[in-house]
Amino acid sequence: MIFLTRRAGFSASHYYWNEAWSEEKNRRVFGRCANRNGHGHNYTLEVTLAGEPDPQTGFVVDLKWLKDVIEREILAAWDHKHLNLDTPDFAHAIPTTENIAIAAWNRLEPTITAAGRARLSKVRVYETPEIFAEFRGQQ
Amino acid sequence: MIFLTRRAGFSASHYYWNEAWSEEKNRRVFGRCANRNGHGHNYTLEVTLAGEPDPQTGFVVDLKWLKDVIEREILAAWDHKHLNLDTPDFAHAIPTTENIAIAAWNRLEPTITAAGRARLSKVRVYETPEIFAEFRGQQ
Amino acid sequence: MIFLTRRAGFSASHYYWNEAWSEEKNRRVFGRCANRNGHGHNYTLEVTLAGEPDPQTGFVVDLKWLKDVIEREILAAWDHKHLNLDTPDFAHAIPTTENIAIAAWNRLEPTITAAGRARLSKVRVYETPEIFAEFRGQQ
Amino acid sequence: MIFLTRRAGFSASHYYWNEAWSEEKNRRVFGRCANRNGHGHNYTLEVTLAGEPDPQTGFVVDLKWLKDVIEREILAAWDHKHLNLDTPDFAHAIPTTENIAIAAWNRLEPTITAAGRARLSKVRVYETPEIFAEFRGQQ
Amino acid sequence: MIFLTRRAGFSASHYYWNEAWSEEKNRRVFGRCANRNGHGHNYTLEVTLAGEPDPQTGFVVDLKWLKDVIEREILAAWDHKHLNLDTPDFAHAIPTTENIAIAAWNRLEPTITAAGRARLSKVRVYETPEIFAEFRGQQ
Amino acid sequence: MIFLTRRAGFSASHYYWNEAWSEEKNRRVFGRCANRNGHGHNYTLEVTLAGEPDPQTGFVVDLKWLKDVIEREILAAWDHKHLNLDTPDFAHAIPTTENIAIAAWNRLEPTITAAGRARLSKVRVYETPEIFAEFRGQQ
């Protein structure tokens, strides 16, 4: 079994706001992340697949295909976008690094599973080089 | 003469839009950067001062002081903010990496010059690790 | 389950010396690390917590709180210090990267467990970008 | 149990070519990687050992010894070499990142196991900062 | 005046060999770089342009255009290629980092000058993160 | 003219202390850097030479030779050492990043000038990735 990872980047805006709370509580809990004009990050995504290398190619999966899947499923939706305003992924979830990792998994897993070549093993999202969250699916 | 540099980071949103242009022209020239909901980056700022080390301390300037100047003059205004909407710096200039470098210089230079210890030599701003702009003042 | 990581840095000195050994054996085993004046590193610490995001906040834990815990429990004790001379952690253990990872775990685990929000999953310590040790607790 | 990692780099050439296929099929499947003159990378290798720190030294293993093992078993064979033409490792396997990780494991595991101090836990190979493969042995 | 830089990467093979020398002298001077099967690197290129930001756009040049120029003039010729065998650039010059920087300048300068928007200020080429060469044109 | 740079690292301890001052003034000015047990860093040194590539080799200088010069003149004296206690360089100068850059220049310049192949153009020293000082010689 090999764990094969491809990294990709996207630049996006977000803010933290819980609609069920007062403005005062939002500001107290989320601090400067509650700024409704938003702020942004260069996110880095790491997508890890687990599988056996094909003896004909030496590939777990073709990395060109994986790059295309990431671009189509994630970057087209999130790159140069406002995560709260431009995507449906965070209609009911605050776009924290944790929730972005889960949403990335949910976007990628069906396509990767359907391809039948390898399973999605984990998704890691860096908000900055100092902060990252990893999701390995429901277990 | 020593060139002493301190790096700092800030996370901000922006978009590119020229109010004098039609929406169509904005979209054609600025592409996905014209998204009015904004997108964002982890910017990295490098502030370089030129001066002689003080024989008593070995410092061109006290780096703790320089860190405080950067926090007060730049990070307080730009970190976790929307550069188009939350600051006056880009009221008449599009917040491109080029203009952010100039605006950072304009924010830092008076304080550094007034301190009389070293001159501001250059300001470099990274929008991503792949793109950066450098300003060395009007020459 | 999400694995949420926060990175932090500290600059410290250390040397390797086993008091039960002769000077000759210390020099033979530890080489230039046995220099009693010490040498130092910019250590990087990665603290990983495992837990479920709170549906109200999207947080496994508040990263501001985690940053404060790391600063209070680790950086206050180790940053700009000599690990052999300035801390009790290495009175009976040589401050190798391995032992620093264990000591960091021991400093962090009670506070994180007491908070009841997530469990400490692993601690990774980089001595340099080329060398790192990871501890996941007694298992 | 501590997981101790040492990183090392090597610069090598390779190409992707399956001798059982036509030139046309090789070009279609492997694209520009099928260029028979080869292209190359600065590979980064991470070797992770699992074990208990020796109470006398604080070492899982002596990192100087591990560095020497990596240099003798891997770098002497692969650094500044053409992986397809200069080594026996890829006579029957295409030198993809996946297969390089397996071949590195096969080169390192006997020496590390024979030393009896710690077990080889995983080998990670970066072809670029964006692409890496990890092998944890037959399980 | 702003100095605007865009970074790009390419993976290529090369060897060092002076046809006017004996095999023995090539091996003595160039060491393991003289391996005729070649070895390779992930090169990083930094292209710096100097100019004034356009008041309408805030751009010294459109970075999308600069990216396309680098892809067309450099990456199409050098990425996934063998520098000695696949390009005319090194027919009469050994592909050292120094000569790669000069060749990159010669490929980029005419297009950038012809565009009339900014001048090419410098080209920096990293062979590895530890080695880089910079060319600023004939002065 | 090409500017050719080689990077090298060393791990060292230091403290800041001016013998002409009271303990109280040292603590006030230098803060936690005044800890007499010392603390340390992974320093990174960048040595830049300016010269013309030799038409026979394509080298400004042989990078193997430059690596050896840096190891002999700098790393042998400073790596795994305490800069205040183990070297003569900081007998009359506090080992700030500024003074380390000057001392590195003074150690390297005679050997590089004597070799007659290229001139030392600049020395840059990183104390951390966030702080660096550059010296270009007396001008």
Burial class (CB in 10 A: 0-12, 13-18, 19+), C52: exposed
pLDDT given at position A127: 98
Q: Do C37 and F38 touch (CB under 8 A)?
A: yes
pLDDT of residue A139 exceeding 90, the answer is: no
- Nearest CB among C18, C29, C131 relative to D63 is that of C131
D65: contact with A, CB 8 A cutoff:
no
The alpha carbon of residue F119 is apart from the nearest alpha carbon of chain B, in Å, by 18
Residue range A51-68, pLDDT digits in tens: 999 999 999 999 999 999
Residues of chain A in contact with residue C56, where contact means CB-CB under 8 angstroms, are 18, 20-21
Question: Tokens 């002689």 belong to which residue?
Answer: B52
pLDDT given at position E109: 98
Size of interface A-D (CB pairs under 8 A): 55
Which amino acids of F are annotated catalytic? 33, 80, 127
Q: Compute the C-alpha angle B48/B52/B55, nearest 5°.
A: 130
A38: contact with B, CB 8 A cutoff:
yes
pLDDT given at position E139: 74
pLDDT given at position D138: 87
The D residues from 107 to 126 touching A (CB cutoff 8 Å) are none
pLDDT of residue B90 exceeding 90, the answer is: yes
Chains F and D touch (3+ CB pairs under 8 A): no
> 3-state SS string over D97-123?
HHHHHHHHHHHHHHHHHHHCCCEEEEE
Average model confidence (pLDDT) for chain C? 97
Query: Can you tell me the distance from the alpha carbon of F3 to that of E105, in angstroms, rounded to the nearest whole number?
Result: 14
**Backbone torsions φ then ψ of B67, nearest 5 degrees:** -60, -45
Q: How confident is the model at residue F138 (pLDDT cuts 50, 70, 90)?
A: confident
Low-confidence residues of chain C: pLDDT under 70: none
Percent of chain F scoring above 70 in pLDDT: 100
Which amino acids of C are annotated catalytic? 33, 80, 127
Percent of chain E scoring above 70 in pLDDT: 100
Residues of chain C in contact with residue D63, where contact means CB-CB under 8 angstroms, are 131
Q: How confident is the model at residue F45 (pLDDT cuts 50, 70, 90)?
A: very high
pLDDT of residue F35 exceeding 90, the answer is: yes
Q: What is the mean pLDDT of residues D109-119?
A: 97
- Nearest CB among F38, F42, F81 relative to C41 is that of F42
The alpha carbon of residue E4 is apart from the nearest alpha carbon of chain B, in Å, by 4
Find out whether E8 and B130 touch, Cβ atoms under 8 Å. yes
Show which subunits contact D, needing at least 3 CB pairs below 8 angstroms: A, C, E
Q: Could you tell me the two tokens for C3?
A: 């694995």
Q: What is the mean pLDDT of residues D7-20?
A: 98
pTM here?
0.97
Residues of chain A in contact with residue D136, where contact means CB-CB under 8 angstroms, are 1, 3
The alpha carbon of residue A62 is apart from the nearest alpha carbon of chain C, in Å, by 28
Chains C and D touch (3+ CB pairs under 8 A): yes
Burial class (CB in 10 A: 0-12, 13-18, 19+), A20: exposed
Q: What is the mean pLDDT of residues F115-119?
A: 97
pLDDT given at position E61: 98
Q: How confident is the model at residue E138 (pLDDT cuts 50, 70, 90)?
A: confident
Residues of chain C in contact with residue D49, where contact means CB-CB under 8 angstroms, are none
Q: How confident is the model at residue E66 (pLDDT cuts 50, 70, 90)?
A: very high
Average model confidence (pLDDT) for chain A? 97
Burial class (CB in 10 A: 0-12, 13-18, 19+), C139: exposed
C16: contact with D, CB 8 A cutoff:
yes
Q: Would residue D33 show up in a list of annotated catalytic residues for this protein? A: yes
D84: contact with A, CB 8 A cutoff:
no
Question: Tokens 């947080």 belong to which residue?
Answer: C59
Q: How confident is the model at residue B9 (pLDDT cuts 50, 70, 90)?
A: very high
Indicate the CATH number for domain A2-135: 3.30.479.10
- Nearest CB among D99, D129, D130 relative to A58 is that of D99
- Nearest CB among C30, C96, C131 relative to D53 is that of C96
pLDDT given at position B139: 74
Q: Please tell me which residue of chain E has the smallest CA distance to D86.
A: E37
Domain ranges of chain F: 2-135
Q: How confident is the model at residue E96 (pLDDT cuts 50, 70, 90)?
A: very high
Residue range F60-100, pLDDT digits in tens: 999 999 999 999 999 999 999 999 999 999 999 999 999 99
C38: left (phi over 0), alpha (psi -120 to 50) or beta: left
- Nearest CB among A31, A98, A132 relative to C64 is that of A31
Chains F and C touch (3+ CB pairs under 8 A): yes
Q: Do F58 and E101 touch (CB under 8 A)?
A: no
Q: Do C39 and F85 touch (CB under 8 A)?
A: no
Task: Given the cut 0.90, state whether the ipTM is greater than it.
Answer: yes
